[in-house]
Amino acid sequence: METPARINRHASHDLVVIGIRVLDDAYMNWVATEVESDHALRAWFEATAADRGAAYVAYQGAVDHEEAAARDLQRLCELIQP
């Protein structure tokens, strides 16, 4: 019976390591999308009148991307709560 217990310990450890990596990736993705939306906001503010409409659309897309990344991170955090 010792072998299954040892396998379970190793599997549990591996699952924790994988979970931490997934959570870290989700966090880093959210940070990157936050930076992208900040850059898009600055580009919109600094755009010329001719480019302002396109810059606004790009900003909206960046914000949508950031919100999706934040939702993913939130869902992962909720999954690990005891």
pLDDT single digits (tens) 19-53? 889 999 999 999 999 999 999 999 999 999 999 99
The pLDDT score that the predictor gives to residue 2 is: 52
Q: What is the DSSP string of 23-73?
A: HHHHHHHHHHHHHHHHHHHHHHHH--TTTHHHHHHHHHHHHHHHHHHHHHH
Where are the domains positioned within the chain?
Answer: 25-82
Report d(CA 4, CA 2) in Å as an integer.
Answer: 6
- Hey, what are 42's tokens? 């600055």
In this prediction, residue 70 carries a pLDDT of: 98
Q: What's the pTM value of the predicted model, to 2 decimals?
A: 0.79
